[in-house]
Structure 1
Protein backbone atom coordinates (compact mmCIF):
# COMPACT_ATOMS: atom_id res chain seq x y z
CA UNK A 1 0.00 0.00 0.00
CA UNK A 2 1.43 3.37 -0.92
CA UNK A 3 1.75 6.06 1.77
CA UNK A 4 -0.68 8.32 -0.13
CA UNK A 5 -3.48 5.77 0.21
CA UNK A 6 -2.94 5.17 3.93
CA UNK A 7 -5.11 6.90 6.48
CA UNK A 8 -3.98 6.72 10.08
CA UNK A 9 -6.35 7.25 12.99
CA UNK A 10 -5.77 7.97 16.67
CA UNK A 11 -7.22 6.34 19.72
CA UNK A 12 -6.33 5.86 23.39
CA UNK A 13 -4.58 2.70 24.54
CA UNK A 14 -6.73 -0.15 25.81
CA UNK A 15 -5.45 -2.86 28.20
CA UNK A 16 -5.72 -5.52 25.47
CA UNK A 17 -3.28 -3.52 23.30
CA UNK A 18 -0.26 -4.16 25.54
CA UNK A 19 1.11 -7.32 23.86
CA UNK A 20 0.97 -5.71 20.42
CA UNK A 21 2.51 -2.46 21.71
CA UNK A 22 5.36 -4.47 23.21
CA UNK A 23 5.91 -6.04 19.77
CA UNK A 24 5.82 -2.63 18.08
CA UNK A 25 8.37 -1.39 20.63
CA UNK A 26 10.70 -4.35 20.04
CA UNK A 27 10.40 -4.20 16.26
CA UNK A 28 10.95 -0.47 16.15
CA UNK A 29 14.11 -0.63 18.25
CA UNK A 30 15.49 -3.69 16.48
CA UNK A 31 15.00 -2.36 12.95
CA UNK A 32 15.05 1.42 13.20
CA UNK A 33 17.91 1.87 15.68
CA UNK A 34 20.31 -0.65 14.15
CA UNK A 35 22.56 2.01 12.59
CA UNK A 36 23.01 3.93 15.84
CA UNK A 37 23.32 1.24 18.51
CA UNK A 38 25.18 -2.07 18.87
CA UNK A 39 23.38 -5.41 18.99
CA UNK A 40 24.09 -5.64 22.72
CA UNK A 41 22.67 -2.15 23.31
CA UNK A 42 19.53 -2.97 21.32
CA UNK A 43 19.01 -6.21 23.27
CA UNK A 44 19.38 -4.32 26.56
CA UNK A 45 16.95 -1.64 25.34
CA UNK A 46 14.20 -4.05 24.28
CA UNK A 47 14.35 -5.89 27.62
CA UNK A 48 12.07 -3.08 28.88
CA UNK A 49 9.19 -4.98 27.24
CA UNK A 50 10.10 -8.45 28.55
CA UNK A 51 7.81 -7.97 31.55
CA UNK A 52 4.60 -7.14 29.67
CA UNK A 53 2.69 -6.43 32.88
CA UNK A 54 5.23 -3.79 33.93
CA UNK A 55 5.40 -2.42 30.38
CA UNK A 56 1.60 -2.18 30.27
CA UNK A 57 1.43 -0.52 33.69
CA UNK A 58 3.99 2.06 32.57
CA UNK A 59 1.83 2.92 29.56
CA UNK A 60 -1.44 2.78 31.52
CA UNK A 61 -0.06 5.22 34.10
CA UNK A 62 0.57 7.75 31.33
CA UNK A 63 -1.49 9.36 28.59
CA UNK A 64 -0.89 6.81 25.82
CA UNK A 65 -2.15 7.29 22.27
CA UNK A 66 -2.08 4.79 19.42
CA UNK A 67 -1.84 5.35 15.71
CA UNK A 68 -3.91 2.79 13.85
CA UNK A 69 -4.15 1.75 10.22
CA UNK A 70 -7.37 -0.04 9.27
CA UNK A 71 -8.04 -0.38 13.00
CA UNK A 72 -4.74 -2.10 13.80
CA UNK A 73 -2.16 -0.33 16.00
CA UNK A 74 1.02 0.63 14.12
CA UNK A 75 2.56 3.04 16.63
CA UNK A 76 2.16 4.66 20.01
CA UNK A 77 3.33 7.54 22.14
CA UNK A 78 3.03 8.30 25.85
CA UNK A 79 3.08 11.47 27.91
CA UNK A 80 4.57 11.19 31.40
CA UNK A 81 3.23 13.90 33.67
CA UNK A 82 2.30 17.16 32.04
CA UNK A 83 5.32 17.67 29.81
CA UNK A 84 7.57 14.64 29.18
CA UNK A 85 7.31 12.41 26.13
CA UNK A 86 8.25 9.03 27.56
CA UNK A 87 7.81 6.81 24.52
CA UNK A 88 7.29 7.13 20.77
CA UNK A 89 7.56 3.98 18.69
CA UNK A 90 6.25 3.13 15.23
CA UNK A 91 6.30 -0.30 13.63
CA UNK A 92 9.05 -0.43 10.98
CA UNK A 93 6.49 -1.22 8.24
CA UNK A 94 4.70 2.07 9.02
CA UNK A 95 7.80 4.19 9.68
CA UNK A 96 8.26 7.44 7.77
CA UNK A 97 4.65 7.45 6.57
CA UNK A 98 3.15 9.99 8.98
CA UNK A 99 2.09 7.91 11.99
CA UNK A 100 4.83 9.32 14.26
CA UNK A 101 4.11 12.88 13.17
CA UNK A 102 0.39 12.42 13.82
CA UNK A 103 1.12 11.00 17.29
CA UNK A 104 3.47 13.83 18.29
CA UNK A 105 1.17 16.52 16.90
CA UNK A 106 -1.69 15.13 18.99
CA UNK A 107 0.48 14.84 22.10
CA UNK A 108 1.68 18.43 21.72
CA UNK A 109 -1.91 19.70 21.42
CA UNK A 110 -3.05 17.69 24.43
CA UNK A 111 -0.08 18.79 26.55
CA UNK A 112 -0.68 22.46 25.64
CA UNK A 113 -4.39 22.10 26.43
CA UNK A 114 -3.42 20.70 29.82
CA UNK A 115 -1.25 23.76 30.52
CA UNK A 116 2.25 22.60 29.53
CA UNK A 117 4.52 25.38 28.29
CA UNK A 118 7.02 22.94 26.75
CA UNK A 119 7.65 19.28 26.07
CA UNK A 120 10.86 17.39 26.70
CA UNK A 121 12.01 14.04 25.37
CA UNK A 122 15.09 11.90 25.80
CA UNK A 123 15.51 11.17 22.10
CA UNK A 124 17.54 8.21 20.93
CA UNK A 125 20.22 8.92 18.38
CA UNK A 126 17.88 7.38 15.81
CA UNK A 127 15.01 9.75 16.68
CA UNK A 128 16.84 13.07 16.94
CA UNK A 129 16.28 14.11 13.31
CA UNK A 130 12.56 13.34 13.66
CA UNK A 131 12.24 15.60 16.71
CA UNK A 132 14.54 18.30 15.31
CA UNK A 133 12.33 18.52 12.20
CA UNK A 134 9.37 19.21 14.51
CA UNK A 135 11.01 22.10 16.32
CA UNK A 136 12.71 20.33 19.22
CA UNK A 137 16.15 21.58 20.22
CA UNK A 138 18.92 19.67 21.96
CA UNK A 139 19.54 20.60 25.59
CA UNK A 140 21.90 17.92 26.93
CA UNK A 141 23.63 14.70 25.97
CA UNK A 142 23.01 11.72 28.25
CA UNK A 143 24.06 8.15 28.87
CA UNK A 144 21.57 5.68 30.31
CA UNK A 145 22.37 2.28 31.78
CA UNK A 146 20.12 -0.53 30.50
CA UNK A 147 21.13 -3.84 31.99
CA UNK A 148 24.90 -3.87 31.53
CA UNK A 149 24.88 -1.59 28.48
CA UNK A 150 25.25 2.19 28.25
CA UNK A 151 23.01 3.89 25.68
CA UNK A 152 23.37 7.48 24.54
CA UNK A 153 20.45 9.84 24.03
CA UNK A 154 19.80 13.56 23.94
CA UNK A 155 17.34 15.57 25.99
CA UNK A 156 15.40 17.72 23.54
CA UNK A 157 12.81 20.39 24.21
CA UNK A 158 10.07 22.20 22.35
CA UNK A 159 8.35 25.33 23.59
CA UNK A 160 4.59 24.97 23.11
CA UNK A 161 3.68 28.46 24.28
CA UNK A 162 5.40 31.32 25.98
CA UNK A 163 5.16 31.47 29.77
CA UNK A 164 2.89 34.23 31.04
CA UNK A 165 4.39 37.68 30.53
CA UNK A 166 6.72 36.68 27.67
CA UNK A 167 6.36 36.34 23.93
CA UNK A 168 7.69 33.73 21.52
CA UNK A 169 10.00 35.01 18.83
Structure 2
Protein backbone atom coordinates (compact mmCIF):
# COMPACT_ATOMS: atom_id res chain seq x y z
CA UNK A 1 0.00 0.00 0.00
CA UNK A 2 1.23 3.48 -0.86
CA UNK A 3 0.27 6.40 1.33
CA UNK A 4 0.21 10.02 0.22
CA UNK A 5 -1.56 9.38 -3.09
CA UNK A 6 -3.21 12.56 -4.31
CA UNK A 7 -6.19 12.39 -6.67
CA UNK A 8 -6.97 15.39 -8.87
CA UNK A 9 -8.67 16.19 -12.14
CA UNK A 10 -6.48 15.72 -15.19
CA UNK A 11 -5.23 18.61 -17.29
CA UNK A 12 -3.99 18.70 -20.87
CA UNK A 13 -0.44 19.04 -19.50
CA UNK A 14 -0.81 15.51 -18.08
CA UNK A 15 -1.23 13.87 -21.49
CA UNK A 16 2.42 12.75 -21.91
CA UNK A 17 2.38 10.92 -18.56
CA UNK A 18 -1.13 9.55 -19.09
CA UNK A 19 -0.32 8.15 -22.53
CA UNK A 20 2.93 6.68 -21.24
CA UNK A 21 1.05 4.85 -18.48
CA UNK A 22 -1.57 3.70 -20.98
CA UNK A 23 1.02 2.33 -23.43
CA UNK A 24 3.36 0.76 -20.88
CA UNK A 25 0.62 -0.82 -18.77
CA UNK A 26 -0.90 -2.49 -21.81
CA UNK A 27 2.51 -3.75 -22.93
CA UNK A 28 3.52 -5.04 -19.49
CA UNK A 29 0.28 -6.14 -17.83
CA UNK A 30 -2.13 -6.98 -20.64
CA UNK A 31 0.52 -8.82 -22.69
CA UNK A 32 -0.22 -11.88 -20.52
CA UNK A 33 -3.72 -12.17 -21.99
CA UNK A 34 -3.53 -10.79 -25.53
CA UNK A 35 -1.45 -11.45 -28.65
CA UNK A 36 1.50 -9.29 -29.70
CA UNK A 37 -0.57 -7.84 -32.54
CA UNK A 38 -3.46 -7.00 -30.20
CA UNK A 39 -1.06 -5.34 -27.75
CA UNK A 40 0.58 -3.32 -30.53
CA UNK A 41 -2.78 -2.09 -31.85
CA UNK A 42 -4.29 -1.41 -28.41
CA UNK A 43 -1.24 0.44 -27.09
CA UNK A 44 -1.12 2.56 -30.27
CA UNK A 45 -4.14 4.36 -28.82
CA UNK A 46 -1.61 6.33 -26.77
CA UNK A 47 -0.70 8.15 -29.98
CA UNK A 48 -4.25 9.47 -30.54
CA UNK A 49 -3.58 12.77 -28.74
CA UNK A 50 -6.81 14.39 -29.94
CA UNK A 51 -8.79 11.56 -28.29
CA UNK A 52 -6.95 12.13 -25.00
CA UNK A 53 -7.56 15.88 -25.22
CA UNK A 54 -11.26 15.25 -25.84
CA UNK A 55 -11.48 12.88 -22.87
CA UNK A 56 -9.81 15.34 -20.52
CA UNK A 57 -11.91 18.25 -21.76
CA UNK A 58 -15.27 16.44 -21.82
CA UNK A 59 -15.23 13.58 -19.32
CA UNK A 60 -14.71 13.27 -15.60
CA UNK A 61 -11.02 12.38 -15.82
CA UNK A 62 -8.83 11.99 -12.72
CA UNK A 63 -5.19 11.16 -12.10
CA UNK A 64 -3.42 9.67 -9.10
CA UNK A 65 -0.13 11.31 -8.16
CA UNK A 66 2.64 10.04 -5.93
CA UNK A 67 5.64 12.29 -5.30
CA UNK A 68 4.73 14.55 -8.26
CA UNK A 69 4.49 11.58 -10.64
CA UNK A 70 1.24 10.38 -12.19
CA UNK A 71 0.85 6.71 -11.29
CA UNK A 72 -2.68 6.06 -12.51
CA UNK A 73 -5.79 7.52 -14.07
CA UNK A 74 -9.49 6.88 -14.58
CA UNK A 75 -12.26 8.45 -16.64
CA UNK A 76 -16.04 8.21 -16.72
CA UNK A 77 -18.35 8.71 -19.70
CA UNK A 78 -22.13 8.73 -20.08
CA UNK A 79 -22.55 9.53 -16.41
CA UNK A 80 -21.97 6.09 -14.94
CA UNK A 81 -19.63 4.20 -17.26
CA UNK A 82 -16.05 3.70 -16.11
CA UNK A 83 -14.43 4.06 -19.51
CA UNK A 84 -10.85 3.53 -18.39
CA UNK A 85 -8.78 2.80 -15.30
CA UNK A 86 -5.05 2.28 -15.63
CA UNK A 87 -2.28 2.05 -13.06
CA UNK A 88 1.42 2.44 -13.84
CA UNK A 89 3.02 -0.96 -14.42
CA UNK A 90 5.44 -0.42 -11.50
CA UNK A 91 2.62 0.51 -9.08
CA UNK A 92 0.22 -2.40 -9.61
CA UNK A 93 -1.50 -3.98 -6.57
CA UNK A 94 -0.68 -1.08 -4.25
CA UNK A 95 -4.26 0.30 -3.78
CA UNK A 96 -3.98 3.03 -6.43
CA UNK A 97 -6.63 1.42 -8.66
CA UNK A 98 -8.90 0.94 -5.66
CA UNK A 99 -8.58 4.59 -4.69
CA UNK A 100 -9.28 5.77 -8.24
CA UNK A 101 -12.32 3.49 -8.35
CA UNK A 102 -13.68 4.83 -5.03
CA UNK A 103 -13.37 8.42 -6.26
CA UNK A 104 -15.05 7.51 -9.56
CA UNK A 105 -17.88 5.78 -7.70
CA UNK A 106 -18.33 8.84 -5.46
CA UNK A 107 -18.56 11.08 -8.52
CA UNK A 108 -21.13 8.80 -10.12
CA UNK A 109 -23.25 8.78 -6.96
CA UNK A 110 -22.95 12.57 -6.66
CA UNK A 111 -24.43 12.83 -10.15
CA UNK A 112 -27.43 10.79 -9.01
CA UNK A 113 -26.64 7.41 -10.52
CA UNK A 114 -27.12 4.23 -8.53
CA UNK A 115 -25.01 1.92 -10.68
CA UNK A 116 -21.55 1.88 -12.20
CA UNK A 117 -20.73 -0.03 -15.37
CA UNK A 118 -17.32 -0.96 -16.70
CA UNK A 119 -15.98 -2.59 -19.82
CA UNK A 120 -13.00 -4.65 -18.69
CA UNK A 121 -10.10 -6.37 -20.38
CA UNK A 122 -9.43 -9.99 -19.48
CA UNK A 123 -6.52 -8.76 -17.36
CA UNK A 124 -8.82 -6.72 -15.06
CA UNK A 125 -11.44 -9.35 -14.25
CA UNK A 126 -9.93 -10.14 -10.83
CA UNK A 127 -9.78 -6.44 -9.94
CA UNK A 128 -13.48 -5.93 -10.65
CA UNK A 129 -14.42 -9.18 -8.92
CA UNK A 130 -12.54 -8.06 -5.80
CA UNK A 131 -14.48 -4.77 -5.80
CA UNK A 132 -17.91 -6.45 -5.80
CA UNK A 133 -18.74 -5.97 -9.46
CA UNK A 134 -20.96 -8.52 -11.18
CA UNK A 135 -19.80 -9.81 -14.53
CA UNK A 136 -22.79 -9.21 -16.79
CA UNK A 137 -21.38 -10.84 -19.89
CA UNK A 138 -18.26 -11.68 -21.82
CA UNK A 139 -18.01 -10.23 -25.28
CA UNK A 140 -15.66 -9.12 -28.01
CA UNK A 141 -14.94 -5.52 -28.82
CA UNK A 142 -13.32 -4.16 -31.93
CA UNK A 143 -10.58 -1.54 -31.95
CA UNK A 144 -8.81 -0.45 -35.14
CA UNK A 145 -10.07 -3.58 -36.90
CA UNK A 146 -8.84 -6.01 -34.22
CA UNK A 147 -11.13 -8.02 -31.93
CA UNK A 148 -10.47 -8.19 -28.19
CA UNK A 149 -12.08 -10.41 -25.56
CA UNK A 150 -13.49 -8.37 -22.72
CA UNK A 151 -16.27 -8.32 -20.14
CA UNK A 152 -19.00 -5.97 -19.07
CA UNK A 153 -19.25 -5.44 -15.32
CA UNK A 154 -21.84 -3.68 -13.21
CA UNK A 155 -22.20 -2.75 -9.56
CA UNK A 156 -24.95 -1.15 -7.53
CA UNK A 157 -23.72 1.83 -5.52
Secondary structure of the 2:123 match is coil
Asked if residue 102 in structure 1 is aligned to residue 99 in structure 2, the reply is yes
Asked if residue 122 in structure 1 is aligned to residue 130 in structure 2, the reply is no
Asked if residue 39 in structure 1 is aligned to residue 36 in structure 2, the reply is yes
Unpaired stretches in structure 2, ≥5 consecutive residues: none
CA–CA distance in structure 2, aligned partners of residues 118 and 51 of structure 1: 30
In structure 2, the partner of 1:159 is 156
1:33-70 deviation per Cα after TM superposition (whole angstroms, max 9, x unaligned): 11111111111111222121222212321100111101
Secondary structure of the 1:96 match is coil
In structure 2, the partner of 1:73 is 70
**TM-score, length of structure 1 as denominator length:** 0.89
Q: CA RMSD in A?
A: 1.2
CA–CA distance in structure 1, aligned partners of residues 134 and 65 of structure 2: 28
Cα offset, 1:147, TM superposition: 2.1
Asked if residue 142 in structure 1 is aligned to residue 139 in structure 2, the reply is yes
1:89-131 deviation per Cα after TM superposition (whole angstroms, max 9, x unaligned): 1110111111100000111011111101100001100001101
Q: Which has the higher helix share?
A: 2
Which of residues 19, 24, 37 is equivalent to 2:16? 19
Cα offset, 1:72, TM superposition: 1.4
Cα offset, 1:82, TM superposition: 1.1
Secondary structure of the 1:115 match is coil
Question: After the TM superposition, which parts of structure 1 deviate over 6 Å for at least 4 consecutive aligned residues?
Answer: none
Taking the TM superposition and a 5 Å limit, the aligned residue runs for 1:86-97 are 86-97=83-94
**TM-score, length of structure 2 as denominator length:** 0.95
Unpaired stretches in structure 1, ≥5 consecutive residues: 161-169
CA–CA distance in structure 1, aligned partners of residues 51 and 74 of structure 2: 16
